[in-house]
Amino acid sequence: MSTDNKQDTDLINRALEFEQRKLSFQTTSDRIIASRQVKELILSLNDIYKENKDPEIMDIMKRLTVIKRKIEVRLKGRSQS
């Protein structure tokens, strides 16, 4: 169980690092890579959250989801509605 806990901690640290990263993705390719990374982080954190229901993990997932939405808006462009 200790290796699982270490992996969880590493994943949380990666998520926090991603969150602190400057969000000026210059190229479309950078945005696509960032979108895939944040999606993978959110899904992995969700698996951890399902096991231990830690509200701090939920908060991290919410913040990452906001970042992911911003990236996707830049990728898809704003709608004309």
CB 45 within 8 A of CB 15: yes
Please indicate, yes or no, if residue 22 is contained in any of the structural domains: no
What token pair was written down for 73? 């808006």
Closest CA to 35 of 76, 61, 66, 71: 71
Please indicate, yes or no, if residue 67 is contained in any of the structural domains: yes
Please indicate, yes or no, if residue 24 is contained in any of the structural domains: no
Place of tokens 């989801």: 65
- The pTM score is 0.82
pLDDT tens, position by position, 51-67: 999 999 999 999 999 99
pLDDT of residue 76: 87
Structural domain harbouring 43: 2-15+30-75
Residue 80, pLDDT above cutoff 60: no
Number of domains in the chain: 1
CB 71 within 8 A of CB 28: no
pLDDT of residue 1: 42
